[in-house]
């Protein structure tokens, strides 16, 4: 009897980010990508989001390997966290591993685990899995899709992809290999749906270079290009256009410097000598001879661009006449921060050029016609959309139906769903643990909605602390009440008056307590909370979080 | 000698919302619009933003009136707050005053101030100002632009406008009046720049009706249309298409019911009898005979649509087969909430139709070609853009320059700027107080960035409270330390352990205090804060806000 073939959706299904897919055949597991996501604005205090590693932890001995499709954070950022818990070999292309290595060295001083370099076009054998690495185009070099051959059928995972017919590095998508797999017969396609809502084809990255070639000569002084540090094709184009115009290119900030250094070392950036200049040497050049490369295209508060826009950067200022090119579009949720940054730059007298007013950005993800082309090259029996919000998964299902696939053969998996497949049927048969985990400080923990709600409440209403000391054997008051507040109301004088009045109110309440009641710290705390909550609501319509503390003299040192 | 003519930018300049413009001639002031804005996500706990009323308060006796251009919140929402402080006559068209009246009755039981109804085409005389009310089209009926004639020249304020050549109510923009004013000679044009970034013309509202006519017959069960409650032209179209199809229309929620009621009373909604049905009667109709009208097109957490999408509405549920039309596009900052709502609706099995996948929304603001047409009808000597972020103001300046106006004749005012004008020159001559004020609970106050930062800090890191009681005459410890925490970390057990260890650490620190030190509550508080901040950082990498309270036995009751 054939073993079961299962696709386990652990991250990136019905959401964008922290991608993690498992293909399981019989006793063996193959992990595809282990990403992180960035928190929503309402996840106060959370630095990063991680997928749930429980299933991988429980089945660690059965995992044959982790294969990484490309080097973006939402695909590799979770690897260091997973490898803290389990030891699994990691496979990836040269740049992907280079970026992962840089990341791991930053996070830990422990020796690195074995990272196995593979190349697009390679075929890997891992237990029962034979994996083809198929070159695709994306907004980072060295990306691959995966063809996972198992005894029960072939599963294709698209990775993050677009079809660029004129790629900057000359590395075309391996259409022949997709066609070949299509002829062999694809049981299931797991497909990137990010841009399923966009009609037509995503333009070639080369278009952005053409825009640069048009814009750079018009810039009277410095040019500042804001883009993702790992977008090496675009950095390559900046360098080429700058070189033609006799400008030097200066990577600004730690992550930009790190990416450029890694890319140079590994051969993913080919620039003429002397074009790249370190930030320390900036002062030696005239403004009109410079192009600055910075992050901050998403309005990230700590990026060099945003600090410059706010006038908070230690070394760099925006000058009248600077040309700032925002070579990115806002990821959903970042819009306000991006517009604010652009407004700030304009206020400082810069000329700001941003999409869609100029073609200074193209997406790294396939639009509808490209998704259709991939689908038609492969003609899968079943398909599973990933890398999209739920609305994108639905749009992909509509698209697959348009191309003739029965609706029942499209599976809108969400994290935790286990899809069991055979040549004759497929069904979601099980759910495994797929919670979201948060990284805060050094701590990784399951997300606790109650704590996030408490934080929101703290933030919106502030907190009032009240403390009182009792002798609980005697049932007498010893000290207090003392009251203080944080994050609440505006002017100090007014707050002082209000708190003084509230303190009086608590005193009156305490005066009515019987000695017996004063022996019960929990009762005292609850009463004080109620008295103050009512008091503040009546006098201010606010609902600060009231936190009472009852101290007891017995518990002294 | 001629008196001075001044434009005072108090709200809506270099920002979107809380619009407030003052035209001042000699001893007389005219106020145009008094709006509110909704807070950014990082303004935790803030309900509304108001413009600064200081200048109006100080000059209340000189104000001849408030003229409202239309009934949207960002133009009328601040009126009730201003009228609490000063008594000024208010002028507006019938619907604008109807909506204002509804609003004021909700906020206060005090008798309403005099509201003077005017009509598009009217000419008002207020002190030295003669004001023409010029009909324009917008996403609410009864909107006007203003031609303010003064002895020193004519100022035109566009209001929020678009040019709809086929308006739903048949009320065309009064092009003739604009042309007439242009011939007369316009000293300054204050122009709506919201959509200056969009090429071409904004489509007619009628297009949305055509989409409804196409979509409604395809819907197998209920249709739910989410839109702004005041968008009466669109509600009119929903009613007409529903009537043709034999469906009833049900306004859901308080604000939708209120707007529909006011519009019916004032004649801004003309529907066949029996088309509108109250929510209570819902159960009497089959799903396929219903259209629900709801707010929530911006993903507002308290709206009926969002509560239905989350399964948290008391009366209404989303069913498989429901068709939800999101007849709006996200206002910047609301994107994440809107996409989340759409995803939730899809997850509940609804068919969700949203822009740009279908033309279920058109803007209420003029695109580039319309702005150019207005400009060319008026050919102003000077111009001031309003109703846009700073990047929009810059784009408008570029546009005005394209049309032949010298760049020096465009004034990118920001709130607080005073532009002094004469036939021969114009310049920003002064700044007046134009802070942002917040509404929280019953309290209106100047925005305090430090409090907002403290809230953010509270929210991100949580708060730890530590209390200790001393006899400060004797310099001895009487009770404590007690420690508790809020909004911090996840699982309670772990937090309990950590706090117990922290308490021990504080005890050790206190044991090393000299009796003299124990007589100083401020010193004790500071030391405890330092000890705990260091302790938590070392053990968790967190920086909770540590709030110490020292109680003293002398201060007991």
Q: What is the CATH number of the domain that holds A317?
A: 3.40.50.10710
Number of residues written out for chain A: 557
Does B453 contact A at CB distance below 8 Å? Answer: no
Secondary structure of residue A162 in the 3-state scheme: strand
| Phi-psi domain of A333 (left: phi exceeds 0; alpha: psi -120 through 50; beta: other) | left
> Is any Cβ of chain A less than 8 angstroms from the Cβ of B339?
yes
Task: Write out the residue range of the structural domain in which residue A486 sits.
Answer: 449-555
Domain shared by B50 and B179, yes or no: yes
Angstrom distance (rounded) from CA A128 to CA A140: 30
**B23 with B172, same domain?**
yes
Cβ separation B459–A463 shorter than 8 A: no
Domain count, chain A: 3
Run of H or E residues at B513: none
**Alpha helix locations (H) across B389-516?**
390-402, 449-461, 492-511
Q: Provide the pLDDT for residue B551.
A: 86
Residue A216's φ and ψ, nearest 5 degrees, are: -55, -45
Structure tokens at A97: 């591993």
What are the distances in angstroms from CA B302 to CA A357, B150, B230, B280?
A: 35, 45, 17, 20
Q: Which helix (H) or strand (E) holds A393?
A: helix A390-402
Separation of alpha carbons B484 and A525, rounded Å: 13
Taking the CA atoms of residue A423, residue A428, residue A431 and residue A434 in that order, the dihedral angle to the nearest 10 degrees is 90
Q: Which residue in chain A is spatially nearest to B41 when comparing CA positions?
A: A41
Q: A210 and A97: one domain?
A: no
- Average pLDDT on A522-539 reads 88
User: ipTM score of the complex?
Assistant: 0.89
Residues of chain B by 3-state class (helix, strand, coil), percent to 5: 35, 25, 40
Taking 90 as the threshold, does the pLDDT of residue B347 lie above it? yes
Nearest CA in chain B to A556: B479
d(CA A23, CA A66) in angstroms, rounded, equals 11
Contact A158, A136 (CB under 8 A): yes
CA distance B133 to B123: 6
Tell me, yes or no, if B444 comes closer than 8 A to chain A by beta carbon. no
Q: Residue B150's pLDDT band (boundaries 50, 70, 90)?
A: very high
Question: CB atoms < 10 A from the CB of A319, how many?
Answer: 12
Please indicate if any CB of chain B lies within 8 Å of the CB of A65: no
For CA atoms B309, B310, B316, B319, the dihedral sign is positive
Last residue of a domain, one of A446, A464, A490: A446
- Whether the per-residue pLDDT at A183 is higher than 50: the answer is yes
- Report the pLDDT value the prediction gives residue A434, as an integer from 0 to 100: 96
* Residue A248 sits in the same domain as residue A179: no
Q: What is the pLDDT of residue A492?
A: 65
In this complex, the residue of B342, B549, B550 whose CB is nearest that of residue A391 is: B342
Q: For B513-532, what is the mean pLDDT?
A: 86
Whether the CB of A510 is below 8 Å from some CB of chain B: the reply is: yes
SS3 helix, strand, coil % of chain A, rounded to 5? 35, 25, 40
Q: Is B365 considered catalytic here?
A: yes
The reported pLDDT for the residue numbered B172 is 96
Residues of chain B contacting residue A468, judged by C-beta atoms under 8 Å apart: 551
pTM: 0.91
CA distance B1 to A543: 57
What pLDDT shows up at residue B142?
96
Interface test mutation site (partner A, options B309, B458, B460, max chain A beta carbons within 10 A): B458
Listed residues A320, A337, A354: the one ending a domain: A354
Which residues of chain B does A480 touch, with a Cβ-Cβ cutoff of 8 Å? 469, 551, 555-556
Exposed, middle or buried, B289 (CB in 10 Å: 0-12/13-18/19+)? middle
pLDDT band for position B557 (cuts 50, 70, 90): very low
Is the Cβ–Cβ distance between B366 and B202 less than 8 Å?
yes
The tokens describing B406, both together, are 């010298």
Q: Side-chain half-sphere of A3: how many Cα atoms within 13 Å?
A: 14
Cβ atoms of B248 and B276 within 8 Å: the answer is yes
Mean pLDDT within B85-92: 94
The C-alpha atoms of residue B21 and residue B190 are separated, in whole angstroms, by 10
**Average pLDDT of chain A to the nearest whole number:** 92
Distance CA B342, CA A118 (A): 40
Q: Give how far the C-alpha of residue A322 lies from the chain's centroid of Cα atoms, to the nearest Å.
A: 30
- Together in a domain, B427 and B476: no
Task: Identify the band that residue B509 occupies on the pLDDT scale cut at 50, 70 and 90.
Answer: confident
Per-residue model confidence (pLDDT) at position B235: 98
Residue B430 has pLDDT above 50, yes or no: yes
In terms of domains, do B435 and B466 share one? no
Between the alpha carbon of residue B77 and those of residues B64, B253, B448, the distances in Å are: 20, 20, 22
pLDDT value at B36 more than 80: yes
Confidence at residue A35, expressed as pLDDT on a 0 to 100 scale: 97
> What is the 8-class DSSP label of residue A5?
E
More confident residue, B555 or B40: B40
- Partner residues linked to B11 by β-bridges: B20
Sort out which chain B residues have CB atoms less than 8 A from A511's CB and list them.
Answer: 557
Among candidates B458, B482, B542 on the partner chain, residue whose Cβ is nearest the Cβ of A487: B458
Q: A531 and A382: one domain?
A: no
The verdict on B113 and B233 lying in the same domain is no
Write out B216-261 in H/E/C secondary structure.
HHHCCCCEEEECCCCCHHHHHHHHHHHHHHCCEEEECCHHHHHHHH
Residue in the structure block whose two tokens are 């370190």:
A278
- Can you state the angle between helices B232-245 and B254-266, rounded to 10 degrees? 90
Contact of A25 with A152, CB cutoff 8 Å = yes
Confidence class of residue B556 from pLDDT cuts 50, 70 and 90? Answer: very low
Which pLDDT does position A519 carry in this prediction?
Answer: 83
Q: Give the CA radius of gyration of chain A.
A: 29
Using DSSP, state whether A392 is helix, strand or coil: helix
- What is the dihedral sign for C-alpha B154, B158, B164, B168? negative
**Looking at per-residue confidence, does A488 or A227 come out higher?**
A227
- Residue B459 has its nearest CB partner, among A44, A197, A541, at A44
In 3-state terms, what secondary structure has residue A106?
Answer: helix
Q: Could you tell me the pLDDT band of residue B296, with boundaries at 50, 70 and 90?
A: very high
Residue in B192, B322, B344, B417 annotated catalytic: B192
Task: Please write the tens of the pLDDT for every residue from A171-181.
Answer: 999 999 999 99
Contact B84/B49 with Cβ under 8 angstroms?
no
Query: What's the pLDDT at A557?
Result: 40
Annotated catalytic residue within A138, A365, A387, A392 = A365
Nearest-angstrom CA–CA distance, A239 and A126 = 40
- What the block records as the tokens of B287 is 């799903």
Q: A440 and A454 in one domain?
A: no
Residue A404 at interface with chain B, using a CB cutoff of 8 Å: no
A537: nearest CA in chain B?
B441
Assess contact for A8 and A430: CB atoms under 8 A: no
Amino acid B492: pLDDT: 65
B432 and B342 within one domain: no
Chain-centroid distance of CA A175 in Å reads 30
Q: In what order do the strands lie in the sheet with A115-117?
A: A115-117, A90-92, A63-67, A28-32, A20-25, A5-11, A417-421, A426-431
Instruction: Give the pLDDT score at A136.
Output: 98
In angstroms, the CA A13 to CA A395 distance is 14
Query: What are the pLDDT digits (tens) for A257-289?
Result: 999 999 999 999 999 889 999 999 999 999 999
| Domain boundary residue, one of A446, A466, A494 | A446
Whole-angstrom Cα distance, residue B32 to residue B30?
A: 7
In our burial notation (b when 16+ CB lie closer than 10 A, e otherwise), range A197-233 reads: bbeebbbbbbebbebbeebbeebebbbbbbbbbbbbb
pLDDT at residue A520 in the model: 84
Q: How many CB atoms lie under 10 A from the CB of residue B554?
A: 10
Q: How many residues does chain B have?
A: 557
**pLDDT above 80 (res A38):** yes
Residues 6 or more apart from B325 whose CB is under 8 A from it? Answer: B212, B215, B223, B224, B225, B226, B353, B354, B360
> Cβ contact (<8 Å) for A458 and B486?
yes
- State CA B557 to chain mean position distance: 48
**B185: pLDDT strictly greater than 80:** yes
Active site residue B116: no
Which of B332, B344, B465 is facing A335, going by the closest CB pair? B332
A427 and A306 in a single domain? The answer is no
CATH number of the domain enclosing B506: 3.10.20.580
- Tell me the CA end-to-end span of chain A in Å, nearest whole number: 71
Interface test with A, best of B477, B479, B524, B553 (most A CBs within 10 A): B479
Contacts of A352 by beta carbon, 8 Å cutoff, 6+ apart: A324, A326, A342, A345, A346, B391
pLDDT: is A126 or B490 the higher one? A126
Q: Let me know: does B238 contact B212? Beta carbons within 8 Å.
A: yes
Q: Which residue in A has a C-alpha nearest to residue B357's C-alpha?
A: A197
Band of residue A555 on the pLDDT scale cut at 50, 70, 90 = very low
Share of chain A above pLDDT 90, in %: 72
pLDDT (average), residues B432-445: 88
What is the rounded radius of gyration, in angstroms, for the C-alpha atoms of chain B?
29
Domain with residue A73: its CATH number is: 3.60.15.10
pLDDT exceeds cutoff 80 at A228 = yes
> Based on the domain organization, do B210 and B240 belong to the same domain?
yes
Query: What is the mean pLDDT of the segment spanning B85-102?
Result: 95
């Amino acid at each position: 009897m054939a073993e079961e073939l299962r696709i386990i959706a652990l991250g990136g299904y019905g959401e964008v980010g922290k991608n993690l897919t498992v293909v399981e055949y019989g006793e063996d597991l193959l992990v595809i990508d282990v990403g992180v996501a960035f928190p929503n604005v309402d996840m106060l205090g959370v630095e990063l989001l991680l997928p749930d590693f429980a299933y991988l932890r429980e089945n660690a001995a059965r995992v044959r390997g982790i294969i990484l499709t490309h080097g973006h954070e939402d695909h590799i950022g979770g690897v260091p966290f997973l490898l803290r818990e389990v030891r699994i070999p990691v496979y990836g292309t040269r740049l992907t591993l280079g970026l992962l290595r840089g990341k791991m060295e930053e996070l830990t001083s422990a020796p690195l685990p074995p990272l196995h370099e593979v190349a697009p076009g390679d075929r890997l054998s891992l237990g029962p899995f034979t994996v083809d690495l198929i070159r695709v185009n994306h907004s980072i070099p060295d990306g691959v899709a995966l063809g996972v051959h198992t005894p029960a059928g072939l599963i294709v995972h698209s990775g993050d992809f677009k079809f660029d017919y004129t790629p900057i590095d000359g590395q075309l998508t391996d259409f022949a290999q997709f066609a070949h797999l299509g002829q062999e017969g694809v049981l299931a396609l797991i497909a990137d749906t990010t841009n399923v809502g966009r009609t037509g084809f995503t333009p070639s990255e080369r278009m952005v270079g053409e825009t640069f070639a048009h814009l750079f000569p018009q810039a009277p002084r410095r040019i500042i290009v804001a883009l993702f540090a790992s977008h090496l094709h675009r950095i390559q184009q900046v360098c080429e256009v700058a070189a033609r115009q006799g400008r030097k290119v200066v990577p600004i900030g730690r992550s930009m410097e790190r990416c450029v250094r890694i890319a140079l070392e590994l051969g993913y950036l080919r620039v003429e000598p002397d074009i790249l200049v370190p930030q320390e040497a900036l002062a030696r050049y005239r403004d009109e001879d410079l192009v600055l490369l910075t992050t901050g295209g998403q309005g990230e508060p700590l990026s060099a661009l945003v600090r410059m826009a706010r006038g908070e950067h230690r070394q760099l200022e925006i000058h009248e006449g600077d040309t700032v090119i925002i070579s990115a579009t806002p990821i959903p949720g970042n819009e306000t921060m991006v517009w604010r940054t652009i407004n700030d730059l304009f206020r400082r007298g810069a000329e700001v050029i941003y999409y869609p007013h100029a073609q200074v950005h193209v997406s790294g993800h396939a639009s509808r016609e490209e998704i259709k082309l991939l689908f038609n090259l492969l003609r899968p029996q079943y398909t599973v959309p990933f890398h999209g919000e739920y609305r994108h998964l639905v749009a992909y299902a509509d698209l697959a139906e348009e191309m003739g696939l029965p609706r029942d053969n499209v599976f809108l998996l969400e994290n935790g769903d286990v899809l069991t497949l055979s040549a004759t049927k497929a069904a979601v048969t099980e759910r495994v643990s797929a919670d979201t985990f948060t990284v805060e400080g050094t701590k990784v923990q399951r997300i606790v909605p109650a704590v996030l709600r408490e934080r929101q409440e703290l933030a919106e209403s502030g907190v009032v602390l009240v403390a009182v000391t009792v002798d609980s054997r005697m049932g007498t008051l010893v000290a207090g009440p003392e009251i203080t507040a944080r994050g609440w109301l505006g002017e100090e004088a007014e707050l002082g008056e209000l708190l003084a009045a509230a303190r009086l109110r608590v005193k009156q309440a305490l005066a009515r307590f019987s000695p017996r009641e004063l022996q019960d710290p929990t009762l005292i705390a609850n009463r004080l909370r109620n008295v103050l909550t009512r008091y503040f609501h009546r006098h201010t319509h606010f609902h600060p979080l009231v936190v009472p503390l009852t101290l007891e003299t017995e518990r002294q040192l």
